């Protein structure tokens, strides 16, 4: 990979991972629209690691509580806030892990990596996000997360396996329909991303073990750092803007990009 291509991939991953605009959709589009070769699994793993570190750092207080609670949970006890949060995160992650494994084993993931699919999902799920954001109540906060809601959001997260849907977008959509305010919905979606990114990274990492060389390691380290910085900036900006701005700007971007992609795909 050229340095420019590497920077482009890492920046796109970092900037779009936690925004409701689909990082996977943008990364699939990059080689399709620019003619550049696919970045490969090793770089995919690296930029996911960078994004993972960014969300862990930003929500460190919650991550620390959940990590401590997971130790209580391992003992079969759900008697602390952290243990309950850890249990909710596990419940929310199981559906997408099962669905992701099935899709990978059946080869459906490759079948869905097309400009037309991304165009439709970018447009369709963008409109669904707009509907949920406009009609959903804002009476609940992230601290009131329940196991039932965690499972419902986990089921919604399965749709993010379709490129262009957006993992954060679909989980935020589900949270808004469940009555969580914008900041609370985004926070829950971001916390859900941590075990999901770990699981997907482990699945991708298993495919590249033994193939890495020194140059790949250097490229991966550079991509991870750049993805970390750009993801942290994008995450901090979104969480700050949500104090006064709705999700409409992201919807507008999705609709415009979706229409452009559909015109491109069918022309």
Name the percent of the chain lying above pLDDT 70.
Answer: 93
Residue 8: both structure tokens together:
């482009």
Dist. CA 81–CA 108, nearest whole Å = 38
Domain boundaries, the chain: 3-113+133-248
Are 167 and 160 spatial neighbours (Cβ–Cβ below 8 Å)?
A: yes
Confidence of residue 175 (pLDDT cuts 50, 70, 90): very high
Residue 165: both structure tokens together:
């849907």
| Cβ neighbours of residue 256 closer than 8 Å, sequence gap 6 or more | none
pLDDT in tens, 109-165: 778 888 899 999 999 999 999 999 999 999 999 999 999 999 999 999 999 999 999
- Does position 240 have pLDDT exceeding 90, yes or no? yes
Q: What average pLDDT does the segment 219-241 reach?
A: 93
Average confidence score pLDDT of the chain: 90
Burial label for 178, CB within 10 Å (0-12, 13-18, 19+), is: buried
The 3-class SS string of 142-158 reads HHHCCHHHHHHHHHHHH
Dist. CA 262–CA 265, nearest whole Å = 5
pTM beyond 0.85: yes
- Does position 211 have pLDDT exceeding 70, yes or no? no
SS3 209: coil
Helix axes 81-106, 60-74, angle to 10 degrees: 90
Are 153 and 188 spatial neighbours (Cβ–Cβ below 8 Å)?
A: yes
Q: Is pLDDT larger for residue 72 or for residue 26? A: 72
Q: In the prediction, which pLDDT does 204 show?
A: 67
Q: In the prediction, which pLDDT does 23 show?
A: 85
Dist. CA 168–CA 21, nearest whole Å = 8
Confidence of residue 35 (pLDDT cuts 50, 70, 90): confident
Q: In the prediction, which pLDDT does 231 show?
A: 94
pLDDT in tens, 61-113: 999 999 999 999 999 999 999 999 999 999 999 999 999 989 988 888 778 88
């Amino acid at each position: 990979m050229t340095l420019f291509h590497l920077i482009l991939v890492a920046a796109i991953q970092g900037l779009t991972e936690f925004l409701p605009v689909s990082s996977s959709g943008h990364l699939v589009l990059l080689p399709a629209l620019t003619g550049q070769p696919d970045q490969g699994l090793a770089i995919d793993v690296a930029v996911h690691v960078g994004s993972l570190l960014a969300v862990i750092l930003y929500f460190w207080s919650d991550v620390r509580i959940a990590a401590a609670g997971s130790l209580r949970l391992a003992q079969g006890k759900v008697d602390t806030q952290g243990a309950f949060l850890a249990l909710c995160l596990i419940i929310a992650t199981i559906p997408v892990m099962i669905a992701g494994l099935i899709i990978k084993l059946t080869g459906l993931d490759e079948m869905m990596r097309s400009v037309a699919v991304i165009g439709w999902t970018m447009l369709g799920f963008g409109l669904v996000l707009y509907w949920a954001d406009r009609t959903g109540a804002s009476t609940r906060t992230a601290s009131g997360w329940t196991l039932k809601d965690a499972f419902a959001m986990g089921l919604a997260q399965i749709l993010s396996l379709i490129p262009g849907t957006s993992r954060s977008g679909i989980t935020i959509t589900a949270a808004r329909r469940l009555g969580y305010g914008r900041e609370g919905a985004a926070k829950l979606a971001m916390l859900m991303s941590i075990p999901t990114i770990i699981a997907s990274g482990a699945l991708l990492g298993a495919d590249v073990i033994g193939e890495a060389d020194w140059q790949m390691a250097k490229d991966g380290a550079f991509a991870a750092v750049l993805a970390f910085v750009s993801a942290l900036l994008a995450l901090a900006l979104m969480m700050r803007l949500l104090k006064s701005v709705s999700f409409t700007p992201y919807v507008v971007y999705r609709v415009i990009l979706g229409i452009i992609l559909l015109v491109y795909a069918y022309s």
